[in-house]
Amino acid sequence: MFDLTGKVALITGSTKGIGKSIAEELAQAGARVVISSRKADAVAAVTQEFAGKGREAIGVPCNVGVKAELQNLVDTTLAQWGRIDVLVCNAAANPVFGPMAKVADEAFDKIMGTNVRSIFWLANMVLPQMAGRRDGAMIIVSSIAALRGSSVNGLYGVSKAADAGLARALAVEWGPHNIRVNCIAPGLIKT
């Protein structure tokens, strides 16, 4: 469909599910990929799996809710390959199910920090180097939950609606630098 040879793609939350599938497709198109998630053993296993298929990949464990770990993820990628051409923000958290009236402040902070603030941080860490080359793409993985109300994961939906708003704002700010920012909103995926 397209050729990403020579491009570098960083995908958060890429050791399973949608994130891993995105990484596989980008690698199949020729991109060098950065595999990342909180669990170091999962990162190592997926990175090794990609290497076994002849795909160029590095693995960097990272909790996206911790700014220093995100900076290490970006710095490690830039040290290895000198650039990031595609940024896919897929990592997310949803530690609670039930009505929002029963969500503790700590759960609110975790959901918003992981699902929204981490993307804000990553954009500010990655997009300036894309702007320097006047080329790049950022994809934010939102959710159908951003578009429909729910009595069991309402706060998650609010965070994913914020992701869509963040994508629109980033597209306006960075579009003049030839950076494409898009948001996708998948539903439940059987993986």
Q: Are 36 and 60 in contact (CB under 8 A)?
A: yes
What would the 3-class secondary structure string for 158-185 be? Answer: HHHHHHHHHHHHHHHHHHHHCEEEEEEC
Phi-psi region of 30 (alpha: psi -120 to 50; beta: other; left: phi over 0): left
Question: Which of 165, 7, 29 has the alpha carbon at shortest distance from 87?
Answer: 7
How distant, in Å, are the alpha carbons of 13, 40, 88, 91, 140 from that of 137?
A: 17, 26, 8, 17, 10
Amino acid present at 35: I
Quote the DSSP letter at residue 133. Answer: H
Please tell me which residue in 47, 156, 160, 170 is annotated as part of the active site.
156
User: Residue 76 is inside which H or E element, if any?
Assistant: helix 67-81
Q: Which residues contact 65 (CB under 8 A, 6 or more apart)?
A: 93, 110, 113, 114, 117, 118
Q: Is 77 a catalytic residue?
A: no
- Which residues are designated catalytic? 156
